Structures are given as C-alpha cells and as structure tokens.
Chain A
Amino acid sequence: MSVRRLAPKEIQPEGFAFTPENTAWAERIIAKYPEGRQASAVISLLWKAQEQGGGWVSEPAIRTIADLLKMPYIRVLEVATFYTMFNLQPVGRYFIQFCGTTPCRLRGAQDIQDVLEQRVGHQGHVTEDGLFSWLEVECLGACCNAPMVQINNDYYEDLTPESFNKLLDDLAAGRPVKPGPQNGRVASEPLNAINTLLEPSLYDGSVVGSWRKRFEEEEARARAEAAAKAAEEKAAAEKAALAAREAAVPEPAKPATTRAGEQVADTPAHRVAEGKEPIKPESQQAAAPDTAPKAADRAADDKTKG
C-alpha cells in the first residue's frame, strides 16, 4: 500500500459523462436505494466509470458521480482513494494485475515479475504503445494454478516466463488468447502424474450410487437387529410374567405406574371418558379375591369420608 493520488492535471480528460446506456444503467442502480441513500451507489458508479474511462477513474468522473449522487466531491474522492481496485492513474489497454503473494512467489512469480519489468517497465508504467501496464496485487485466489496474473477481467494461470511472454506477444498482436491455465491443463486438474483417485471402480460406474446402497444396507441391518432385540425382550417379558404369576404375588388393583407424570390409564374416570363400562366390584372380586375391596369395607370407607 502506498499513498494513492489522482493522476496529474495534464493527463486528466477535459470532462466525463456516462454514455447513454451507462446512464440508464446508473439510474437503475441508484433506484435500488431508498430515498436519501443514493450515495450508496457510489462504488457501482465508480466501477462503471472506470470501465468506461479505459480502466481508470479520472477526476472529472469523480465530480460527475458526486453531482449525480448529490455528494460532496471529497466524499467520492475518499471512496475512490480507499479502494485499490479503482485505478487513479491511466492503465494500459491490457491492465495486468500480477499476483505476488506467497503461493505464487513459491511457484515462480518472481520470473513472471522479471518478464513484466523487462517488457512493460516498472509498476504503473504504461508502455509507449499504450497496450500494457501492470501492478502487483495481493492474492487473487487462484493459488492452485500459481503463478498467475489477471489481465483485465480474465485470469491467466500456470504461467512460465515463456508462456507469459507468448501471451503478451499474442495480446500485443491481437491474436486470440485463451484465459485460464496456459500449460494445457483444464481448470485445476492434475497436470501430469496422477497420484490420487486411482481406483478403477471410481470410473466404471460401479460405485455410482454406492453410498446410497451402503446406507440402505446399513439401515436394513439396523432394522433387523432392532426387530430381533424387540422379539427377545418380548420373550423375556412373557417369561417374567409367567414367573410372576407362578409366584402368585398379590398384584395391586391399580397398574403399577410409579413414574411421576405418567398417567394411570385405567381409572374409573378414564373408562367413563373412553365410553367403557366401569369395572364392577363383583368382577374385581372375581379377578383378585384377595385384594379387591369388600362391599362392607367400601361402605365404611364412604361413611368416614362423608
């Protein structure tokens, strides 16, 4: 980072005005923001002005945008000088942003920089023919294809001094160039020896859907296990019930629901609510002659309550 200044007066254009289509575009952008917040469009407009102005933001452009957004000039200047992607000095037709951050450096960015310094000159310098200028920037996020440069809107990756020289030659001659890796590989695929993902089954279709199959199998297995366990538990419970009956331990009339909050399902009130017949004392007597309340006890009980 260094102090960023507007270009000297001599090279500033006379004036700046958005083209009709850019004006329409700008109006659409400005309309996105609520009344009184039009200044929010300043970055979009500066970006458009840079695009229209040949890759850099001129002083008249700053004033034009400020007038358009009803901002003080200094406010727009603040934004334009804050963001380093706004070029304040003229750039070449092919503006090369050269990545000089660690991964690229490790992969030979210094050689690319040497090419730039030889062919184009120092940073920020525009070649005589107006074609090239370059700037070292921080990581552009294409480390897997290091070293790389960005020329205008496209990435050119996997550069060597030779391929980069050729790229610049092609650009200078107006020949078509291919963005992306310059060493023949596609995107960030492996370049030569393939060391990973070598299993043939990965590629014969046999593993397509294999993950689902595995999941289904696991699910089925889990289900079978659960069923087996449930059957086992049921058998154990039956066995226990049988043993209990054999032991003839007197059972309480109420279900043994002891856990707090658990509702006792079989009370006279529940039976009524569910539309069932209430249990008559006679049947209670028949079911458990030892523990069922006797008619005489019940009468005595009613008396004490009453």
Chain B
Amino acid sequence: MAKLIVDGKEIDVPAEYTLLQACEAAGAEVPRFCFHERLSIAGNCRMCLVEVKGGPPKPTASCAMNVRDLRPGPNGEPPVVLTGSPMVKKAREGVMEFLLINHPLDCPICDQGGECDLQDQAMAYGVDSSRFAENKRAVENKYIGPLVRTSMNRCIHCTRCVRFVTEVAGVPDLGAIGRGEDMEITTYLESAMRSELQGNVIDLCPVGALTSKPYMFKARPWELLKTESIDVMDALGSSIRVDARGREVMRVMPRVNEAINEEWISDKTRFIWDGLKTQRLDQPYVRDNGRLRPATWQEAFARVAEKVKAAAADRIGAIVGDLAAAEESFALKSLLQRLGSPNIDGRQDGTVLDPILGRASYIFNATIAGVHEADAVLLVGTNPRREAAVLNARLRERWRGGNLSVGVIGEPVDLTYTHTYLGAGPETLAAVADGTHSFAEVLKNAEKPLVVVGQGALTRPDGLGVLSLAARAALAAGAVKDGWNGFSVLHTAAARVGSLDLGLVPGEGGLDAAHQAAGGVDVLFLLGADEIKVADGPFVVYIGTHGDQGAHRADVILPGATYTEKSGIYVNTEGRAQIANRAVFPPGQAREDWAIIRALSDVLGHRLPFDNIAQLRQSLFVSHPHLARIDAVEPADPVAIERLAALGGAVERAGFESPVTDFYLTNPIARASAIMAECSALALGVTRQAAE
C-alpha cells in the first residue's frame, strides 16, 4: 500500500495502482479516452493529465504513471496529486482543443451523439472555441465488416479498438497504419473482421468513428426505453440492456456483470434484434387440408382440445426448446402432469444430462468467474469460441495471465489462445482419465484443474459413457475438492439448465424428445423447439415466436413471446437463476407463453392454478426454491460427480463434434435475422461484399 494525497485528501492505495485509479479511489473524476480498465495502457490521448507535486514540472498522464513511481516530499510527506489545479485545467483544455482540431463537427448526424465521450468531455473539460483556422483532416471510411460502420474522420486515435481485438478478442484484424496525423485504423486491405466479439468495439469507441451498422441512423439514445435483461443466445446468460422505442427493439447493449460477461457480449447477442421483427408469428394458425391458415385463438384452442381429448394420456408429448423461460416450462410440465402424460423433454438436442444424476452433473460447477482461478483446462467436445464466445474471451484472458495449459479433445479449432490438441474422441479422454496420457500429468499437477464438457460430447448415443469418463478424468485430476469443483458442463441453450432444474425429462415410462419426434406420440407440444425434426404422424402444436422449422411442421400454431417480450427466469450454464425483463410487447395477437398454456389448460379442462405471473412464480418457487434466489449460483453437491464417474458405460470411437456449426444461426431468432445471415455467409466465405 502507498499513501498519497489527491486534491488534499490522503488515501492509501496499492502501490501498483495507476494515478488514475488512485484519483478515482479518492473520488476525483479524471477524464480519459484511450484508457480502459480491461485493456492495456496506451497513454496516447493525454486527456487524463494531472499535476504531480515533486514530479517533473509538467502535467503527467495519470493512466500511465504508477503510484509507486511517485516521489515523496523532501521531509518524507506523501506525494501530492492535483486533479483540479489551474495547470490541469489548462492542460485538459489544450488537449481537448487539439483533439477537436481534426474532429468533424457532425454531431447532429452522428450515431454516437448523446452517448459520446468526446461530446460529454468537451462539454465538461473543453473550451468553447478553437484557434485552428486550417483545413481539417479527411480520412476515407473503411469497410471492416457488416456489423461495424466506420466514419474515420471522427477517429481520435485512441486505439481502444485495436487493443480490444488484439487482446480480448484474440483475432488481431484491426491495426493502425501510417503515422501521426495520417494514422488510420483499418483491417488488412479492408477485409471484414473475423472476431465474434467485434461488436464490442462499437461500445469501446469513445467517439462516433465505429458505430453499429445495422443500427445506423435508426434512433437517438435519449428516445430509447432501456430495459435491463438477460441474453438467451447462448447458455451464459450475459447481462444485456434492451433499448426499445415504442414496440420495436432498436438495439441490444451489454451491461457490466463481473460474474458473467464482464462488459462484453457476442455479436449474436448484440445484433440479433432485427430477427425479433421478421418471420414473426403474430396470430394463431391452424392447418386445414395441409395448409396453415390464420385462425382465432378460440379456433386454435378448440382444435388442440379436440386432438388432446381424442388421444390417450401417454400418447401426448411435449418438447421444450432452447429459448423457453422457466415459467412456461413449468406451466407446460404442470399441464402435462394434469393430462397424465410422462412424455416431456427439455433436451431437444438429445443430450444425456439428467437431473437424476445430480445437479453437479449438468452445471458449470467452476462458475464462469472461476475460470480465472483455473490453472489447467481440459476442453472435451466443445468449441467455446462458437458455443460461448464471451466465456472464450475469459479463457483467453486467463491464458494471457500466464501459467495456463489448455488441452482440447474434439475438433481441432482456433480458440485464439495456444492449446494442446490431445485427440478427437473418447479414446483420448479415456487415456487422460486413466492417467496414461501426458496431459493427465498436467491436470494432476494443477492446483485448480478445470474440465469443461461440451454438448458435442454429450449429444451422442454414447454420451452417458463420455460424461462418466469426463467425470472420472476430473476426479483423477483432483478437480473436485474442497473449495473447488472443476467439473463443468458447458451448455449451448439458454433454457437447458432451467429445464433440467425443473425436471423436464421423461417420467416413468415416458418418451424422450427423439422418440416423441419420431412419432411415439399422437399429440406433440413444441414449446419453441425448432431444432428437432418431427416425423409425419403426430399432431403438432407449436407454441413459439418464429416461422421456423417447428412452425412449418405444426398443425396448430400458438404465437408466443420472445425473450425481450416477456419476463422470465433463465438459469445459465453455471446454474445462476437470472430474470429477463420485458422490453416490448409481443406483436399482434401473440401472448406470453405461460399465459397461452394457462389459457389452453382451461380449454382442456385442467385449469392450472395460477392467473398471473406472480402466482405462477409463487408455485414455481415453492417446488424449486433455488430459482427464487435471482443472480445467485446455487452450488451443487459434488457427490454427484463421484456417482457419475462410477457409472461407467461403453463409448464409441467417433470424434466429438461441436453442435454449433454456425455460430450466427443457432436459434429461430437468429435464423430470422438478416444481419446474422450476412455474418454467417461471410464467415463461411460465401460472399465478401461491402454493405452500405
């Protein structure tokens, strides 16, 4: 710890703090452009200048000066830092004047207007005029991908974007060419950026040089209604803010959540919003003579009731999809119970995870923030870069910290950090579990080994054997001990852990998703289940939001609400219950899914005992109390892992393959999004054209 005096206030901060951090600790505000807490220090904007007594007689860039480098006074008094002295004021005004020399005065047509650091700081720390009478610099705009629009006249050369893609995203596509006034931010020959986290440069850019291309000229920040919510594009449940105007979601922004996404979100999370408006089911449909026709709710319900009443109880089934909140899953399960059917499954991808194996067998026990503590990581059948891009950024951050060995069993992929490719399939995993593989030694020597099992390893016929093998590998490595549980399952669907927590698996004698879809039932409810192909035969009732595969197969469509249109509890891959809030209302006649199920239950003669979401949640919390503890991770009993390891089971030779083959098109909302389609095409190398 080191003592120093900031603006007359004596504080005690760690010696490795920068002056900027120390000033903040003392409550002094220091303006900055290039400095960012999660990026390396560049020190090139000079906005954070402060006066240091005892230092050189000139302003000091506080972001680049350590507290430990300050000199004490002649009699050993603590160093003095001033953030409001006349020298500092003059320095800031000077820096701001220089920054504005080449910055265009196009705030009225700039998308950053209203949330622009330069605008705000010019108001707070600038002067009202410029003494610069020459011409301003003109810079050509660059194409750097379909998501980020450039307006390079506005660039102030802070290099935050370059540092982000290099350090955090790990795909160093951006760079600064030229020098001095002619420095320009660009990609190599203006190719598209390849990172799946590239949208974050829009937030990082302190000016309007990098803005969102899909959101271009769409709205002003002050006319948007901001709703804090939870993302459902992957199983991480990143914290987001949904910005809506009227009935329209205009954009999605990240919120800071140190436990999950820090302040990054993936491009799928950020740019999905145009998919919320296209391909929407806004009224009920029924199929007549092989063609779907619009219908009223009454008609649709009557058709469902007719079929349900005609079917035997054990010939009714339900499959819960990847985006369902806990409320509607619970409602559907209650309805099925009342109908007397055991056929319900929340695992449309056919994963072998089952609540009967214990909660520790299906959650990311190490927790996402726990990745920072791990010192050896084994990735089994998962490609975190595609399945959970933000988690991958965390792994990379941990790797940059040094002393991390990563082993991969599965597909050989580029994870943006160095790793040892161990092998393709269960054989390698068995070798690691038995200790015959050299990586077993690495895991064993690690203090906190982390074994991440992906769905690529579990959605196979021998998944249970693989899961057991992975548990054995984790136990052999000492990954399960007091204070650390490194056995972690990485999910790909936002609804999956919630479904497993609610016990959405076939009951006694019940059929699983694959058997139901193959025609094992006569009436099949699909709650947003679009990634499973239903055979001819069953009468399909699709409750969902988009005209995707499920709707095409459906005999009755009941239009539901997307994650931005309902309040719902989602449990993320680490078992953290989080609540998503409603930002807008569902379109047309669409309703919240739980309300649809509740109304349907009335028609079916098995009225569910709740009339509003509060009552529904009350009964949900009674049977599943941990869901009431919002934002908290419910730790699971690691005994389950030992049981799992003892389970054994045969495994095949085939290699693991990640279930996410196309990062941009994993769910019905994403498949309805034109932006995602363009990104997907670009990623596949189909087309490379400049939009705009």
Contact surface of A with B, Cβ cutoff 8 Å: 1-4, 6, 59, 72-75, 77-78, 81-82
B188 touches A4 (CB 8 A): no
Q: List 6 A-B contacts (CB under 8 A).
A: A2-B182, A3-B182, A6-B189, A74-B188, A77-B188, A82-B178
Instruction: List the 3 shortest-distance A-B pairs measured between CB atoms, nearest first.
Output: A74-B175, A81-B177, A73-B188
Identify which of B175, B181, B189 contacts A78 (C-beta below 8 A): B175
Please indicate the chain A residues that have their CB under 8 angstroms from the CB of B182 in the complex: 1-4
Contacts of A73 in B (CB 8 A): 188-189
User: Residue B188 contacts which of A1, A2, A72 (CB distance < 8 angstroms)?
Assistant: A72
Q: Which of A3, A74, A78 contacts B173 (CB 8 A)?
A: A74
Chain A residues whose CB sits within 8 angstroms of the CB of B180 once the complex forms: 1
Q: How far is the CA of A108 from the CA of B177 in the complex (A)?
A: 35
B367 interface residue (CB < 8 Å to A):
no
Say whether B173 contacts A72, CB under 8 Å.
Answer: yes
- Asked if B175 and A4 make an inter-chain contact with CB atoms under 8 angstroms apart, the answer reads no
Q: Is B174 an interface residue (CB 8 A)?
A: yes
A59 engages B178 (CB within 8 Å): no
Q: Which residues of B contact A1 (CB under 8 A)?
A: 179-182
Quote the shortest CB–CB distance from A80 to chain B (angstroms).
Answer: 8
As a 0/1 sequence over residues 526 to 544 of chain B, the CB contacts with chain A under 8 angstroms (1 = contact) are 0000000000000000000
Q: Select which of A3, A72, A81, A82 is within 8 A of B172 by beta carbon.
A: A72
B187 at interface by CB-CB < 8 Å: yes
CB distance from A89 to the nearest CB of B (A): 14
| CB-based nearest B residue for A74 | B175
Known: A4-B182, A73-B188. A78 touches B177 (CB 8 A): yes
For residue A3, which residues in chain B have a CB less than 8 angstroms away from its CB? 178, 182, 184
A59 lies within 8 A of B175 (CB)? no
Chain B residue at minimal CB-CB distance from A3: B182
Report the Cα distance A2→B172, complex, angstroms. 25
A73 to B172, CA, bound (A): 9
Please tell me which one of the listed residues B172, B178, B181, B189 contacts residue A75 in the complex, with CB atoms under 8 A apart.
Answer: B172
Tell me the smallest distance from the CB of A56 to a CB of chain B, in Å: 16
Residues of the B chain whose Cβ atoms lie less than 8 Å from the Cβ of A82:
177-179
**Chain B's nearest CB lies how many Å from the CB of A296?**
62
Q: How far, in angstroms, from A238 to B610 measured CA to CA in the complex? A: 127
- On chain B, the residues within 8 Å of A78 by CB distance are 175-177
Tell me the nearest residue of chain A to B172, going by C-beta.
Answer: A72
Q: Which residues of A contact B177 (CB under 8 A)?
A: 4, 74, 77-78, 81-82
On chain B, the residues within 8 Å of A75 by CB distance are 172, 175
Chain B: minimal CB distance from A98 (Å)? 21
B172 x A74 contact (CB < 8 A): yes
Shortest C-beta distance, B377 to chain A (Å), equals 21
Number of interface residues of B (CB under 8 A): 16
- A74 close to B178 (CB less than 8 A): no
Which residues 165-204 in B have Cβ within 8 Å of A in the complex? 172-182, 184, 186-189
Q: Give Cα A81–Cα B174 distance, bound, in whole angstroms.
A: 14
Compute how far the CA of A78 lies from the CA of B182 in the bound complex, rounded to whole angstroms.
12
Within 8 A of A (CB), among B127-176: 172-176
Q: In the assembly, what is the distance between CA of A68 and CA of B187, in Å?
A: 20
- Least CB separation from A62: chain B residue: B188
Q: Contacts of A81 on B, CB cut-off 8 Å? A: 177-179
Chain A residues in 8 Å Cβ range of B172: 72, 74-75
A182 → chain B closest CB, angstroms:
34
Asked, given contacts A74-B172, A75-B172, whether A4 binds B187 with beta carbons under 8 Å apart, the answer is: no
Report how far A59 CA is from B177 CA in the complex, Å. 14
8 Å CB interface, B58-97 against A: none
CB B428 to nearest CB in A, in angstroms, measures 27
Q: How far is the CB of A79 from chain B (nearest CB, A)?
A: 9
Interface residues as binary, B411-435 with A (CB distance below 8 Å gives 1, 0 otherwise): 0000000000000000000000000
**Is the pair A77, B175 in contact by a Cβ cutoff of 8 Å?**
yes
A6 to B184, CA, bound (A): 13
Q: How far is the CA of A87 from the CA of B177 in the complex (A)?
A: 14
Please give me the residue from chain A that is nearest to B137 by CB atom: A3
Return chain B residues, CB-CB under 8 Å to A4.
177-178, 182
Q: How far is the CA of A226 from the CA of B324 in the complex (A)?
A: 106
Is B181 a contact of A74 with CB atoms below 8 Å? no
User: Distance in Å from the Cβ of A1 to the closest Cβ of chain B?
Assistant: 6
Nearest residue, chain A, Cβ from B177: A81
Q: How far is the CA of A2 from the CA of B179 in the complex (A)?
A: 9
Q: Given A3-B184, A59-B189, are A74 and B179 neighbors across the interface (CB < 8 Å)?
A: no
| Given A74-B186, A77-B177, 11 new contacts (CB under 8 A) | A1-B179, A1-B180, A1-B182, A3-B184, A6-B189, A74-B175, A74-B187, A78-B175, A81-B177, A81-B179, A82-B178
Closest to A71 in B: B172
Inside 8 A of B178's CB, which chain A residues have their CB? Answer: 3-4, 81-82
Q: Is the CB of B184 within 8 A of A74?
A: no
Q: Which residues of B contact A2 (CB under 8 A)?
A: 182
Chain A nearest CB from B175 CB (Å) reads: 4
CA distance A6 to B177 in the complex (A): 11
The CA of A78 and the CA of B177, in the complex, are separated in Å by 4
Q: In the complex, A1→B137 CA distance in Å?
A: 13
Q: How far is the CA of A74 from the CA of B177 in the complex (A)?
A: 8
Q: Which residues of A contact B184 (CB under 8 A)?
A: 3
What is the CB-to-nearest-CB distance from A64 to chain B, in angstroms, rounded to a whole number? 14
Quick one: closest B residue to A73, CB to CB?
A: B188
In the assembly, what is the distance between CA of A75 and CA of B176, in Å?
8
Min CB distance B545 to A, Å, is 40
Set of chain A residues within 8 Å of B189, measured between Cβ atoms: 6, 59, 73
> Min CB distance, A191 to chain B, in Å?
39
For B166, give the chain A residue with the smallest CB separation: A72
- Distance in angstroms from B135 CB to nearest chain A CB is 14
Residues in chain A near residue B173, CB distance under 8 A = 72, 74
Closest Cβ–Cβ distance, residue A250 to chain B (whole Å) = 54
Closest-CB distance, A168 to chain B (whole angstroms): 31
Tell me the B264-279 residues at the A interface (CB within 8 Å): none
Report the bound CA distance from A82 to B184 in whole Å: 11
Whole-angstrom distance between the Cβ of A43 and the nearest chain B Cβ: 14
Q: Which residue of B lies closest to A72 (CB)?
A: B172
A3 to B177, CA, bound (A): 9
**A134 vs B288: C-alpha distance in the bound complex, in angstroms?**
80
Among A1, A2, A3, A4, residue most surrounded by chain B Cβ atoms (within 10 Å): A3
In the assembled complex, how far is the CB of residue B150 from the closest CB belonging to chain A, in whole angstroms?
A: 15
Minimal beta-carbon separation of B282 from chain A (angstroms): 45
User: A82 vs B180: C-alpha distance in the bound complex, in angstroms?
Assistant: 9
Give Cα distance in the complex from A82 to B183, angstroms. 9
